[in-house]
Structure 1
Amino acid sequence: MDRAPATPPKAVGIVWLLLGLNTLGSAGAKTIVQLPRSLIQLVTMGSLVVAFALALALNVRLRVRPSAFVFLLTLLLVPSVISSVHLESGFGALFRCTRLALFIGTLWLVSRWWDGSVTFVRHHIRMYFGVLVSVAAGLAISPGAAMPDLYGGRLVGALWPLTPPQIGQYTAVITGLTVLLLLGRQVDRTSAAVVIVPSLVLLALTHTRTATVGLLAGLALAIGSLMLTSAAARRFFTWAVLCATVAAVGFASALQAWFLRGQSKENFSSLTGRAKVWDALLAAPRTTGERFFGVGLGDKSFGGLPIDNSWLAVYNEQGLVGVALVAAVLLVLGGVALLRPPSLSRACAIFLISYVAISSYTEAGLGDASPYLLHLALAASLLVAPAAAPPPAPPPPRPGVPRWARDREVS
C-alpha cells in the first residue's frame, strides 16, 4: 500500500470519466435518434470494463490506499451476491453483481491517487459538464424532444436518454462544487460562471425539487464549515441570505408555482405517488432470508413501479444487512468530515455527503453502481489525510568533520 501517493497520471481522469459514463443508465426519455437499449447498455457496461482495465494497467502493482468507504462497499457485495444467486430477480441480478464488483474494484485501484486534493473534483466537474453540454445541444436541436409532454414539459436528454431527476442531479452537483472551488480560489470567476450559469438554467428547466433542495442545503452546510476560516465564505453566505430573502418576498408566488409543478396538494403530499409504492413494499410478506438479505439486485422497482427511495430500494434488494452497511458508509464519511480541520476539500466532501443524504429520500442508487456512489467516492478521496512529508536526508559526510558534529548539524 502507498503511504505517499504519486501524482495522478492524466489517464486517471479518463478512468473517472468512464465510471461516470457507466452510471448514466440506459433508460430514460425518447431521444431524437432512437438508440437501441442494447447498444446503450453495451456502451455503459463496456465503459466500466475499459475503466477497470485501464485502472489495472495504471496500477499494475495493485497499490491501494486503506479506505473504510471502499471496504464497506466491498462488504455490500456479500448480501448482494447471497440474495442474487437465488435468481428471484432473474439472471440480471448476477449481471448487476458483476457490475458492482467491477465498479468497486476500479475504485480500489484508483484509491492509490486519493490524497485529499481537489484533483478528482475537477475530473467530476468536467465529466458531468460534458453530459450537460449534450443536454443543451439536444435542447437546441429539438426543443420538443427535449421538453416532451410525457414529462410535463420538463427537460430531458434528447441525445442520450436522461430523465429530469438525472439532469437535475448533475447540474446541482457541479454547481455546488464549482461555487466551493470559486470560494477557495481554485478557479477564476469567468470559468466558474461558464459552469454555474448554464447549469442553473438547466436545473430550472428540469423542475427537480430534490436537486434544488439538496444544492441549497448542501451549500449551506459546506459554506458554514468554511465561515470561521474564510472571509470569502462569510461574504458569500451573507449575500446568499440577502438574495434568498428578496426572492422569497418578491417572487413567492412564482417560486411556489415552480415548486408545485402544477400538482395538487394531495399529489404533492404523497410525493408524486411514491408513498403508495413505499407502503406496498413495506407491507409485502417476506421470508427471513429476504428480510435480512433482500431479493437480489434489480431495477429498483416494486410491482412495476419505481421505488425512488435509496433506503427502501436497498432493503428490498439487499435486506437489513445492506441497509446497515449503507448507513455505515454515510456515518463513517460524515464522522470523518466532522473530525477534519476546516479546508476546501472538507467543504466539498460535506456538500457531497449532504446532497447524497438528502437525495436518498426520493432517489434510489445507494446500493448499486450509481452516480450517488461516485459522489461519495469523490467525498472519500477528499477526506484522505495528506501523506506526511518524508524526513530530510542527512548531509553527506565531509572529510575532517567528526561524527558528533555532523549529527549536531542534522538535529
Structure 2
Amino acid sequence: MTADHAGPDGRTAPPAKAVATVWGLLVLNTLGSAGAKTVVAIPRSLIQMVTMGALVAAFALALAVNPRVRIRPGAFLFLLTLLLVPSVISSVYVAAGFGALFRCVRLTLFVGTLWLLSRWWDGGLAFVRHHVRLYFAVLVLVAAGLAVAPGTALPEYYGGRLVGALWPLTPPQIGQYAAVVTGLTVLLLLGRRTTGAGAAVVVVPALVLLAMTHTRTATLGLVIALVVAIGSLVLTSGAARRFFAWAVLCAAVAAVVFGSALRAWFLRGQSQENFANLTGRAKVWDALLDAPRTTGETVLGTGLGDKSFGGLPIDNSWLAVYDEQGLIGVVVVAALLVALGGVALLRPPSLSRACALFLICYCAISSYTEVGLGDASAYLLHLALAAGLLVAPPAAPPAPPELPHRPAPRWARTSEVT
C-alpha cells in the first residue's frame, strides 16, 4: 500500500500508481458498447464481464488504498448518492427486472469508488493528467483498429464514420473522448503544464479522429466549452489572450475559405428535414413524452434500463433520466450541474477552475443529444473530475510565532580579553 505524503503547499499527494489504476478501471467500466462491429466479434457477455469486473476491481483497490474510509464530503457526491434513491426504488417498485437491479448495483459501486477517491481531491491537476493519458490510450486503440482494418473501422452502416474496430466503440463515444482529451490538453498547454510538442502529439491525432467520427455534438461541445474555459483565464493569462485572439482569427479565415466544406461535413449528407429532426431523435422524444405514465412512473421513473424507448435510443440525458428515474432524478441531475457551475463561478481564476468549467460546459452541451448523466458513464466521470478540481485546497498551516529576542544572560556574555 502506498503511503500519503504532504506536498510543499500542504496538499496530500495521492498514491499515484494506485489512484491512476483505480481511475483507469473506472474508465474501462464506461467503455461498454454494443453499437459497432469489431474485427474479431466480442460477445456482449464478455464485454459486460470485463467492464463490470473492472468496476469491482476499482472499488476493491480504492478501499485497499483508503482502508479507513477517509472521504471529502461535497455537494456533487451527495447529490450523486441521492440519485441512487429513485434509481433503486423505481427498479424494485416497478419490477423492471434483474437488469435494472444490476445497473443499480453498478451505479452504487461507481459512486462508492468516487467517495473513496474523494480523499485526494484537492484542486490539483493530478487527476487531469490521469484522465488525459487514459482516454488518449483509448484513442490510440481506435487508431490501431483503423490501421489494422480500415474497412471495419469506417463501416457503411454508420455512413463511413469512425468506430472502434478492436473494441466496440461508437462514433459519439470516440468523438467525446477526442474532444475531452483535446480540450484538457489545450488548457494544460496554456497553463504551461505541458510543452508545445507534447500537446501536439496528443491534440493533432485526437482532432483527426474527431473529424473522422463526424460527431457534431462533440465538435460543438469542444468549441463552446473551450471558449468558456479560456475566457475564464483571459484576465489573468497572457497565453490565454494570445491563443484566444489567434483562434478567433483562424476561425474567421476557415469560415470564409472552407465554409462550404465545413457545411457539408456538418450536414453529413443529410437533408435539411432530417437535420432539423435531429436524425430522427425528435420522433423518439415526442413518443416518450406522449406515452401514458402512472404517478409513480412520473415521479420515480421506470427503473434503470438501456436508455432506449420502444427499441430506439433516447439520445437525450434529460429524457433518459426522466424515463428511468422520474422527475426526482431530473431535479437531482439539474441540481448537480447547477452546484458544480455555481462553485466554479465562485472560485478565483486558475487553471483548475478552467479545466472544471470546460468539463461542466461540455457535459451540459452533450446532454442534449447523448445519455449518461443518470447512470455510471464517462460523463459522470468527467463531472467527478470537475468536482475534484473545484475542491478548495487545504490552507497551509500557520507559521509558528517568532519568540521575542532576549539578551543573553550576563554569565553567558564573553568578555574581551586584552
TM range (shorter): over 0.9
What is the aligned partner in structure 2 of residue 62 from structure 1? 69
Residue 265 of structure 2 aligns with an amino acid whose one-letter code is W
What is the aligned partner in structure 2 of residue 291 from structure 1? 298
CA RMSD of aligned residues (A): 1.7
Secondary structure of 1:195 counterpart: helix
Residue 381 of structure 1 aligns with an amino acid whose one-letter code is G
How many Å separate the matches in 1 of 2:72 and 2:328? Answer: 25
2:108 matches 1:101: yes
How many Å separate the matches in 2 of 1:103 and 1:398? Answer: 57
Q: Closer, same or farther in 2 for the Cα pair 1:123/1:400, shift >3 Å?
A: same
Residue 7 of structure 1 aligns with an amino acid whose one-letter code is A
How many Å separate the matches in 2 of 1:401 and 1:301? Answer: 83
Q: CA deviation at 1:399?
A: 11
What is the aligned partner in structure 2 of residue 373 from structure 1? 380
The 8 Å contact of residues 26 and 41 in structure 1, kept in 2 or not, is answered as no
Q: Closer, same or farther in 2 for the Cα pair 1:60/1:273, shift >3 Å?
A: same
2:90 matches 1:83: yes
The 8 Å contact of residues 87 and 93 in structure 1, kept in 2 or not, is answered as no
What is the aligned partner in structure 2 of residue 8 from structure 1? 14
Q: For 2:338, which of 331, 336, 339 is the aligned residue?
A: 331
Q: Structure 2 length as normaliser, TM-score?
A: 0.93
Secondary structure of 1:38 counterpart: helix
- Give the alignment of 1:5-404 within 5 angstroms: 6-10=12-16, 11-393=18-400
The 8 Å contact of residues 299 and 327 in structure 2, kept in 1 or not, is answered as yes
How many Å separate the matches in 1 of 2:406 and 2:49? Answer: 69
How many Å separate the matches in 2 of 1:400 and 1:250? Answer: 80
Range with bigger deviation, 24-33 or 116-125: 24-33
How many Å separate the matches in 2 of 1:78 and 1:284? Answer: 24
Residue 82 of structure 2 aligns with an amino acid whose one-letter code is L
How many Å separate the matches in 1 of 2:94 and 2:11? Answer: 41
Provide structure 2 residue ranges, at least 5 long, that are not aligned to the other structure. 1-5, 410-418
How many Å separate the matches in 1 of 2:343 and 2:236? Answer: 19
Q: CA deviation at 1:227?
A: 0.3
Residue 40 of structure 2 aligns with an amino acid whose one-letter code is V
How many Å separate the matches in 1 of 2:113 and 2:229? Answer: 28
The 8 Å contact of residues 13 and 123 in structure 1, kept in 2 or not, is answered as yes
Residue 75 of structure 1 aligns with an amino acid whose one-letter code is L
Secondary structure of 1:85 counterpart: helix
Q: Closer, same or farther in 2 for the Cα pair 1:193/1:287, shift >3 Å?
A: same
The 8 Å contact of residues 5 and 112 in structure 1, kept in 2 or not, is answered as no
Cα deviation code 1:42-82 (max 9, x no counterpart): 00000000000000000001101121101100000000001
| Aligned residues between the structures | 400
What is the aligned partner in structure 1 of residue 416 from structure 2? none
The 8 Å contact of residues 11 and 393 in structure 2, kept in 1 or not, is answered as no
Residue 64 of structure 2 aligns with an amino acid whose one-letter code is A
Secondary structure of 2:89 counterpart: helix
How many Å separate the matches in 1 of 2:318 and 2:408? Answer: 69
Residue 185 of structure 2 aligns with an amino acid whose one-letter code is T
Secondary structure of 2:12 counterpart: coil
Task: Percent identity, please.
Answer: 76
Residue 389 of structure 1 aligns with an amino acid whose one-letter code is A
Deviation above 4 Å: which 4+ runs of structure 1?
A: 393-402
Q: CA deviation at 1:90?
A: 1.7
Q: CA deviation at 1:207?
A: 0.2
How many Å separate the matches in 2 of 1:26 and 1:146? Answer: 15
How many Å separate the matches in 2 of 1:5 and 1:290? Answer: 46
How many Å separate the matches in 1 of 2:50 and 2:107? Answer: 16
Residue 237 of structure 1 aligns with an amino acid whose one-letter code is F
Cα deviation code 1:230-264 (max 9, x no counterpart): 00000000000000000000111100000000000
Q: Structure 1 length as normaliser, TM-score?
A: 0.95
What is the aligned partner in structure 2 of residue 409 from structure 1? none
Range with bigger deviation, 4-13 or 276-285: 4-13
Residue 130 of structure 1 aligns with an amino acid whose one-letter code is A
Residue 32 of structure 2 aligns with an amino acid whose one-letter code is G
The 8 Å contact of residues 161 and 212 in structure 2, kept in 1 or not, is answered as yes
Larger radius of gyration: 2
Q: CA deviation at 1:86?
A: 2.9
The 8 Å contact of residues 19 and 48 in structure 1, kept in 2 or not, is answered as yes
Q: CA deviation at 1:28?
A: 2.3
The 8 Å contact of residues 210 and 359 in structure 1, kept in 2 or not, is answered as yes
Range with bigger deviation, 21-30 or 277-286: 21-30
Q: CA deviation at 1:400?
A: 9.1
The 8 Å contact of residues 33 and 170 in structure 2, kept in 1 or not, is answered as no
Residue 43 of structure 2 aligns with an amino acid whose one-letter code is P
Q: CA deviation at 1:386?
A: 0.8
Q: Closer, same or farther in 2 for the Cα pair 1:86/1:229, shift >3 Å?
A: same
